[in-house]
Amino acid sequence: MHNSSTPDGGSTADGSSTADALGLVADELRALVDTVRAADQAPFERALTLLTDADRVFVHGAGRSGLALRMTAMRLMHLGLRVHVVGEATTPAIGRGDVLLVASGSGTTGGIVQAARTAADVGARVLAVSTTDDSPLAAVAEATLVLPAATKTDRSGTASAQYAGSLFEQGVALLGDALFHALWQRSGRSADELWPRHANLE
């Protein structure tokens, strides 16, 4: 194996040990977080407002991005929001007053873009997480939260040394927890107040 480049231009070990790989992942995530924190915060504030004001929140993503958003869905439910995962048998129709939270690295994933258009057509608001704010998905979204990471088709190793869209998908999970934490702190509720919503049929 050859040495891998880090986002800041340095080099790491070849990643052949778990410790090396953990270091690389942590370094890439740290660089991603620093970039997001230095960016315009208006879209992130808009995201918090959209989630707070939503009648219901629907989450939708393909593959690993979708799995990461399920984690966000659970946390928003713990906060007391009415949350549905698109594709589940009990998920109702989306409508006016609702928010569709979607993730697509490229912003061009066919099923995700179509779902966003459908949601917008019936009066719901769309909140997108992507690597770009210049895409068909961003054109439909009321706010796009940009995570500057590699998409799954980028195999150049320039944006990330990790495989496919791993850095983006990790970023989606991290951003979801950050959105939840900010909403929780603003709610003024204690952890004890949230705890009764945890699943008891496990």
Is 126 domain-assigned?
Answer: yes
13 lies in some domain: no
Q: Which residues contact 64 (CB under 8 A, 6 or more apart)?
A: 165, 166, 169
Residue 80 lies in domain: 18-190
Residue 12 has pLDDT above 90, yes or no: no
Assigned domain for 197 exists: no
- Evaluate whether residue 71 is within a structural domain: yes
Residue 172, C-beta contacts closer than 8 angstroms, at least 6 positions apart: 61, 65, 68, 69, 72, 103, 129, 147
154: pLDDT confidence band, cut at 50, 70 and 90? low
* Contact call for residues 179 and 47 (beta carbons, < 8 A): yes
Between CA 27 and CA 143 the distance in angstroms is: 28
Burial class (CB in 10 A: 0-12, 13-18, 19+), 109: buried
Helix/strand number for the chain, H first, E second: 7, 5
**Poorest-confidence range of 112-116, 188-192, 198-202?**
198-202
Q: What is the pTM of this model?
A: 0.89
Enzyme catalytic residues: 169
pLDDT tens per residue, range 85-111: 999 999 999 999 999 999 999 999 999
What is the pLDDT at residue 158?
A: 74
Total number of domains in the chain: 1
The verdict on residue 2 lying in a domain is: no
168: nearest Cα among 24, 20, 28, 51: 28
CATH assignment at residue 174: 3.40.50.10490
Judging by beta carbons within 10 Å of its beta carbon (0-12, 13-18, 19+), is residue 108 exposed, middle or buried?
middle
Residue 78 lies in a domain: yes
